[in-house]
Amino acid sequence: MTAMATSFPTIDRRPRDGLAVAGLSKRFGGNEVIQNVSLAVAPGEVLALVGPSGAGKTTLCRMIAGLESPDRGSCHLAGQDVGAVAPGDRRVALMFESYALYPHLTVRENITSPLQARSRGRLAEGVKEAVDQLLTLLEIAHLGDRQPVALSGGQKQRVALARALVQNPSALLLDEPISHLDAKLRHKLRGEIRRRLSGKDHPSIWSTPDGLEGLSVGDRVAVLAEGRIEQIGTPEDIWLRPASIKVAKLFGDPPMNVLKGELHSQGEMSFFRGPEVSIELPPSLAARAKSGADRGVYLGVRPGALTLAEVGAPAGVPAQVYSNEAFGKHSIVTLRTGAGDLVKIKQKDHVALTLGAPVSFLYGAGEFFLFDGKTGSLTT
């Protein structure tokens, strides 16, 4: 039976060409959860994989690690096709979203377990110091001798993260690595882990449903929605030029407002018109508006580009106060328009508002985005 164990090819130990997947697809029953995904990550690069729950992020990571077999497509690590390479021989460090800790091992033993497996129980010099550094960084140094049953969910997540970071893999895959931590610790670790990964010679994928987290940690960002790659680009590209409504709604705090309507031209001026809304578009959009006159579109506008106004204000859009959330340095006011759309406004100062009270809001000079009414893609 040993032939089965030794029949898999192995890959070189030093990653040179990073990670590349081409045309990966995966179906579970009648549901195609990954559809023709292609991407590449260079050594030392961090690719933020951003998508909502159910987008296929975990399945994609599992296919790269060899824990799921794709129906179609290929995966290359260090310049070699690893389609027939066993998961253990790929040397991919995958941090599981579910932690996957060994219940009978201590925190320290869990962290060193992949190194123990590869070295047959004999750890290399310097491993203890590396583990100590990670325990301190992740603020779990006092938990080294505990077993998982004595840990909270956030502590378990940090143990799983340390187990992935202590390795020197051909690729590092972090599946929502800080999602269960408190806000203060998330903010600290985002920068610390990002700095640590930038000095490595392996490619890294950081999976998260949080668009702002993705923008802050990734050299580039890949947006995954319903199993498809919607856009890949730098954080600046993603923020300034979202390729579709799906992308636009994933980024921002709160995300972009998107309203349905039509484009109309009147002389040299162009307008977006929707239920109870008529907005003159800036010159930067005039040419696109004229070419798409009388066509259904979606208008995207960031919450910070809207302002509250009194009822009946000139050019104001009538609405009612739906909610008012104060966050100290800013507040987020949600309004319901007469057409039933919920519109969010982000303003610096908190204003006392009565729920259900009539108000108006104004479109400011902020940037507008036009999306095709049929495809949802950004118009160009």
> Which of 74-83, 271-280, 355-364 shows the lowest per-residue confidence on average (mean pLDDT)?
271-280
- This prediction has a pTM of 0.90
Whole-number Å distance between alpha carbons of 168 and 93: 8
**How many other CB atoms sit within 10 Å of the CB of residue 101?**
22
Domain end residue (candidates: 207, 241, 275): 241
- Indicate whether 285 and 162 sit together in one domain: no
Give the pLDDT band of residue 15 (cuts 50, 70, 90): very low
**Residue 239 is which amino acid?**
W
Please state whether the peptide bond connecting residue 15 to the residue before it is cis, i.e. omega within 30 degrees of 0. Answer: no
DSSP 8-class letter at 173: E
**Does residue 252 lie in a domain region?**
no
Place of tokens 């049953």: 149
**Does residue 50 lie in a domain region?**
yes
- DSSP class per residue in 216-260: HH-SEEEEEETTEEEEEE-HHHHHHS-SBHHHHTTSBTTBPEEEE
- Indicate whether 149 and 23 sit together in one domain: yes
**Predicted pLDDT of residue 289:** 65
| Mean pLDDT value of segment 66-70 | 97
Residue 264, token pair as written in the block: 């109309």
Give the pLDDT band of residue 366 (cuts 50, 70, 90): low
**Does residue 179 lie in a domain region?**
yes
**Predicted pLDDT of residue 184:** 93
Tens of pLDDT along 216-265? 999 999 999 999 999 999 999 999 999 999 999 999 999 999 999 998 88
Whole-number Å distance between alpha carbons of 276 and 319: 10
Domain end residue (candidates: 180, 214, 241): 241
Tens of pLDDT along 128-139? 999 999 999 999
| Mean pLDDT value of segment 366-371 | 86
> Which segments within 256-367 are labelled E, that is strand?
257-266, 269-274, 277-280, 296-301, 306-309, 317-326, 331-337, 342-347, 358-363
- Indicate whether 331 and 367 sit together in one domain: yes
The yes-or-no verdict on residue 8 having pLDDT over 50 is no
CATH of the domain at 347: 2.40.50.140
Place of tokens 């800013």: 330
| Mean pLDDT value of segment 180-208 | 93
- Indicate whether 208 and 275 sit together in one domain: no
Closest by alpha carbon to 200, among 234, 168, 163, 159? 168
Q: What percent of the chain has pLDDT over 90?
A: 75
**Does residue 249 lie in a domain region?**
no
**Does residue 251 lie in a domain region?**
no
| C-alpha atoms less than 13 angstroms from C-alpha of 253 in its C-beta half-sphere | 10
Contact 305, 364 (CB under 8 A): yes
**Predicted pLDDT of residue 365:** 66
> Which segments within the chain are labelled E, that is strand?
19-28, 31-41, 46-50, 72-77, 80-81, 92-95, 171-175, 204-208, 220-225, 228-233, 257-266, 269-274, 277-280, 296-301, 306-309, 317-326, 331-337, 342-347, 358-363, 368-372
Contact 127, 115 (CB under 8 A): yes
Whole-number Å distance between alpha carbons of 340 and 26: 38
Domain end residue (candidates: 212, 241, 270): 241
- Indicate whether 311 and 197 sit together in one domain: no
- Indicate whether 172 and 264 sit together in one domain: no
The yes-or-no verdict on residue 380 having pLDDT over 90 is no
**Sequence-ordered alpha helix ranges (H) in 250-331:** 283-291
| Mean pLDDT value of segment 170-190 | 95
- Indicate whether 176 and 276 sit together in one domain: no
- Indicate whether 263 and 311 sit together in one domain: yes
| C-alpha atoms less than 13 angstroms from C-alpha of 346 in its C-beta half-sphere | 15
3-state secondary structure at position 323: strand
**Predicted pLDDT of residue 22:** 97
The yes-or-no verdict on residue 299 having pLDDT over 70 is yes
Give the pLDDT band of residue 363 (cuts 50, 70, 90): confident
- Indicate whether 237 and 325 sit together in one domain: no
**Does residue 377 lie in a domain region?**
no
The yes-or-no verdict on residue 294 having pLDDT over 90 is no
Give the pLDDT band of residue 86 (cuts 50, 70, 90): very high
**Predicted pLDDT of residue 70:** 97
CATH of the domain at 153: 3.40.50.300
**Predicted pLDDT of residue 293:** 58
Closest by alpha carbon to 50, among 227, 219, 222? 222
Whole-number Å distance between alpha carbons of 142 and 152: 13
**Does residue 246 lie in a domain region?**
no
Whole-number Å distance between alpha carbons of 269 and 117: 69
- Indicate whether 205 and 323 sit together in one domain: no
| Mean pLDDT value of segment 359-373 | 87
State how many domains the chain has. Answer: 2
**Predicted pLDDT of residue 220:** 97
Whole-number Å distance between alpha carbons of 237 and 189: 24
**Predicted pLDDT of residue 259:** 92
- Identify which has the larger pLDDT, 286 or 291: 286
Tens of pLDDT along 269-286? 888 888 878 888 887 777
Contact 201, 15 (CB under 8 A): yes
Domain that holds residue 149: 2-241
**Does residue 297 lie in a domain region?**
yes
- Indicate whether 281 and 215 sit together in one domain: no
Tens of pLDDT along 195-225? 999 879 999 999 999 999 999 999 999 999 9
- Indicate whether 230 and 297 sit together in one domain: no
Q: 9 Cβ partners below 8 Å, 6+ apart? A: 84, 85, 89
**Predicted pLDDT of residue 2:** 36
